[in-house]
Amino acid sequence: MALAHEKGNALELAVRAIELAILRTSPNYNEKTFLIESKKIIKVGGVHHEIDIWVRVALATGYDAIFIFECKNWQKKISKNEIIVFAEKIQAAQAQTGFLVAQSFTSDAVAQAAKEPRIQLLHASELPLTDVPIPLGFHGIQQEHINVSVDLKSENSAEGAVGVAIDLSSATCTIDGQAFELNNYIGAWINEDACARINAFRSEAVPQGLHPLPFSATRDFRDRLLIVNGQRILRISLAGEVSVRVFRARVVSQFDVQNRGRAVSVLIETPNASINAAFAYPANQQ
């Protein structure tokens, strides 16, 4: 049962990605003129209906068109009964058109759909995964550890700057006479520089696994009066590394939907979550 559910979700994810790509690349629409939802529940006349993909498009001022999609990634052919049930959903959703996406249909299903002017049947083909590249090098990264040493230098008339041993959590500090929390200041600085180092990391070009990224930074306070535990500090330096784990994606499905386009779905698995994403190639752009 779980496998059937996953197969259904795979086709639904592909169809949603294709339709979203079609809407986004259309010169007639922008993100404010359409809304697309998955597994939308509507209630009409006391009856609940689940819509696999529900699309609302603003065609003109004060007029919205509704389109719905039913995705059935079944090995067996779709029968006329599924067509009849889907026609009820179209009526309940007041949809202009309903698209039923499946691998195959019985002749009775085709005949039944022909009687419903608002139903369109779309054939979906599951394509092989052999030699399918990961679209755009899609991958995931996760920050794991930060190890940093903090070095404070004070003024000394004879030797220039000398190191100062400081307990950051209890230090009393002022800058130009204004009190502040040194521990919070250093913590925010470390996070800022660690994030900058991660953003500069070319993670798309490295293998899966843990990657330590060294970074360092110095801030000069010669032009400001920084006092820590009664001593004037001339500069503060950081030196350390942030560790980033890279998770490579794998292709889990590839579908071609008749006259609409093709979609490649990928999966990233981390210790805490699994992330699905789909990349679409509309038919008019292939």
75 Cβ contact partners less than 8 Å away, ≥ 6 residues apart: 103
Average pLDDT, the chain: 90
Q: What is the mean pLDDT of residues 252-270?
A: 95
The helix-helix angle for 80-93 and 107-114 (nearest 10°) equals 30
The mean pLDDT of 126-132, rounded to a whole number, is: 92
pLDDT band at 163; cut points 50, 70, 90: low
Predicted confidence (pLDDT) at residue 8 exceeds the cutoff of 80:
no
Domains defined for the chain, CATH in brackets: 2-129 (3.40.1350.10), 139-247 (no CATH)
Which phi and psi angles does 251 have, rounded to 5°?
-75, 130
C-alpha distance from residue 108 to each of 82, 112, 113 (Å): 11, 6, 9
56 forms beta bridges with 35, 66
> Which of 1, 12, 2 has its CA nearest to residue 255?
12
Amino acid at 176: D
The β-bridge relationship of strands 63-72 and 178-180 is: unpaired
Closest to 216 (Cα-Cα) out of 167, 150, 144, 161: 150
pLDDT band at residue 16 using 50, 70 and 90 as cut-offs: very high
Task: Indicate whether 228 pLDDT > 80.
Answer: yes
Kindly report, residue by residue over 90-106, the tens digit of the pLDDT: 999 999 999 999 999 99
